[in-house]
Each structure stands twice: as structure tokens, then as C-alpha cells.
Amino acid sequence: MKNFNFLSLTLIGLLVAFSFLSVKAQDEMPSSDTSMQNNIRERRPKLVQQLDLTPEQMQQIRRINAEQKPLLRDAQIRLREANQNLDQAIYAENANETNIQARIKETQIAQAEVIKIRSTMELAIRRILTAEQLSKFRETRRKFVQNRNNRQKQRRNQKMDLQNRPADVPNRRIKNRERFPRSNS
């Protein structure tokens, strides 16, 4: 009985310690939004160099962004709110079909507005580029999409590998085996 109590207390202590560590790790990790924005900022000069934009073209693009970004941000906020309203309608205590259909329509309109603003921005920027710049941009964009798809596929495969691992093998041990393979010496 003493061993059981000691083991229980030890396990509870370890769980508390791990929960504190995971919360601390989450606090220290940069948000994906921030890291994604930093990544975009790092790549932007490369894109400007690759496309060989003139100062006039860069000024025109900045003007387009300055005009359209607030509209896009507002439209994204409306879309987020419409999605929240739809979720609330679906999971309400007394779900009302008419209300749900109205929230679906609201979400569709908000999403269409976001697409419209993005497309308008892209078209305006496309018109600024020369044929050669447009060709380079298409190739760069194609590579970006391909790399993004590869990363997503890799993450899905890793997730599947973790889900298919034997239940009795802790995740940490699997990662350590991959990071520090045993040598046969």
C-alpha cells in the first residue's frame, strides 16, 4: 500500500511538473503569426531583387497595399465574426434552421468580399509587372506553393507516424532514437 501511495504521489508530481514545463514552453514559443510575418519579411527583399522592380514599381505596389490592406483587414474581421456567428448558431441550445441559413449566407458574403479584395490587389500588382517580371513571379510562386505543399505533406506524414506508433512506446523515446541513433561499435 505504501508503494502504491508513493507511486501515485510521484506520478502526480511528474504530471504537475510536465504541465508547468509545457505552459512555459508555449509562452516562450513565438506565435506562428509572428514567425510567418518575419519569414515573409525576410523573403520580400529576395523577391524584389529577383523581379528587379524599379523604384517606380515599388512605389506603385506600396500605394496599392496602403489602399487595400485596411479594406482586406476589415473584410477578414467580418469573415472571422461571421464564422463565429455561424458556429454559435449551429451549437446553440435551440438550433434554428432559418438562423443557421442566414449565418451561412453571411459567411459566404464575407468570404466573397475577402476573395474580391485579394484578387483586386493581385490584379493591380500584376498590371504593374512587365512580361519578364510576371514570368519570374509565376515561377517563384509555383516553387513557393510546391514547397508549402511538401511541408504540409511532411507534417501530415509525421502526424500519421506518431498516431500509428505502438501505444506502449513514449513519443520522447521515438524522437530520441531518430535524433541519436545507436552505433554498432
Cell triple for 44: 520580400
Q: Quick one: pLDDT band at residue 48, thresholds 50, 70, 90?
A: confident
How much is the average pLDDT of 31-52? 63
Average pLDDT, the chain: 78
In a domain, 18, yes or no: no
In a domain, 88, yes or no: yes
DSSP single-letter state for residue 183:
P
In a domain, 111, yes or no: yes
Closest CA to 117 of 161, 73, 81: 73
Per residue in 11-41, pLDDT (tens digit) is 454 444 444 444 344 444 444 455 555 555 5
Cα three-residue angle 30-80-99, rounded to 5 degrees: 150
pLDDT at 167: 57
In a domain, 117, yes or no: yes
Domain count, the chain: 1
In a domain, 86, yes or no: yes
Q: Is the pLDDT assigned to residue 45 strictly greater than 70?
A: no
Question: What ranges make up the beta strands (E) of 45-134?
Answer: none
In a domain, 81, yes or no: yes
Alpha carbons 27 and 131: distance in angstroms, whole number: 46
Alpha carbons 126 and 61: distance in angstroms, whole number: 10
Total residue count of the chain as it appears in this document: 185
The parent domain of residue 133 ranges over: 56-151
Kindly report the backbone phi and psi dihedral angles of residue 52, in degrees, each rounded to the nearest multiple of 5, phi listed first: 55, 55
Per residue in 98-149, pLDDT (tens digit) is 999 999 999 999 999 999 999 999 999 999 999 999 999 889 889 989 999 9
In a domain, 173, yes or no: no
In a domain, 99, yes or no: yes
Rg (Cα) of the chain, in Å, rounded? 25
Which of 159 and 136 is assigned the larger pLDDT?
136
Q: DSSP of 11-44, one letter per residue?
A: HHHHHHHHHHHHHHHHHHSPPHHHHHHHHHHHHH
Q: Quick one: pLDDT band at residue 75, thresholds 50, 70, 90?
A: very high
| Residue 92, domain CATH | 1.20.120
pLDDT at 57: 93
SS3 state at 181: coil
